[in-house]
Copies of this chain bind each other. A is one copy, B any other.
Amino acid sequence: MTDTPPRTRIQQRNRETILGAALEVFSQHGFRGATLDQIAQAAGLSKPNLLYYFPSKEAMHEALLAGLMDTWLAPLRALDPGGEPLDEILGYVHRKLLLSRDFPRESRLFANEILQGAERIRPTLEGELKTLVDQTAAVISGWAREGRIAPVDPYHLIFSIWALTQHYADFDVQVRAVLGPGKDDPFDGADRYLATLFSRLLTP
């Protein structure tokens, strides 16, 4: 909708550099807590130069959120209604956890946004996201009705998958503080634990 086609190579490169730096800063401090100077320094560019590529601080934030929703919803879209129920759900959990591991900054950006009222993305939540969840919930309910998985509230099932997987990205600091240093990656342990958890929950 608000697509800005990159005319030259250098434009594309700098836009990406700026968005990368903005992601770093926004995800750590939230929108209001982030400053253009921080982003400029992280990007290695001057502040006026940022504003040559983006009309405002808010435009950078919007660009990030817009690009994020697709990535974020992809694993849920990939859930196959024709597949084996338990495999599909466990696969979704696994993919979502990988997303948290590989894109923690995106996860925190999203968390910051929701936490602070989600005023910039509430329409998307109530529209696109709700629709997708409703569809998936119907599929899961169908599986339960057919006895292929144990009966569960499909909405809370989805919420629990989000909560559990995103926790390891958003609360990474706390997880590592509690586990202590040196141990192997929290995500490995989480992967096994979550597979067990949802298997026991859903096996009829």
**Smallest Cβ-Cβ distance to A109: which chain B residue:** B115
A157–chain B nearest beta-carbon distance, Å? 8
Stretch at the interface among A13-21, A138-146, A172-180: A172-180
The answer to whether A148 has its CB under 8 Å from any CB of chain B is: no
The answer to whether A164 has its CB under 8 Å from any CB of chain B is: yes
Q: Mark A119-156, 1 if CB is under 8 A from B, else 0.
A: 00010011001100100000000000000001011011
The answer to whether A190 has its CB under 8 Å from any CB of chain B is: yes
Given the interface pairs A177-B126, A177-B129, the reply to whether A197 lies near B160 with Cβ below 8 Å is yes
**Smallest Cβ-Cβ distance to A130: which chain B residue:** B178
A133 proximity list for chain B (CB < 8 A): 178
A180 proximity list for chain B (CB < 8 A): 126, 130
Secondary structure of the A contact surface, majority rule: helix
The answer to whether A53 has its CB under 8 Å from any CB of chain B is: no
Asked whether B175 lies within 8 Å of A159 as measured between CB atoms, the reply is: yes
Alpha-carbon distance between A152 and B193 when the two chains are bound, in angstroms? 7
Stretch at the interface among A2-10, A27-35, A54-62: A27-35
Taking a contact as CB atoms closer than 8 A, the residue among B30, B108, B114 that contacts A29 in the complex is B30
Interface residues of A (CB under 8 A from B): 28-33, 108, 111-112, 114-118, 122, 125-126, 129-130, 133, 150, 152-153, 155-157, 159-160, 162-164, 166-168, 170-171, 173-175, 177-180, 189-190, 192-194, 196-197, 200-201
Q: Can you report 16 residue pairs joining A to B where beta carbons are below 8 Å apart?
A: A29-B32, A30-B32, A33-B116, A115-B170, A122-B173, A152-B193, A156-B190, A156-B193, A159-B171, A159-B175, A159-B178, A160-B167, A163-B166, A163-B167, A200-B200, A201-B201
Which A-B residue pairs are the 10 nearest by beta carbons?
A32-B33, A163-B167, A156-B193, A125-B177, A118-B173, A163-B163, A30-B30, A126-B177, A33-B33, A200-B200
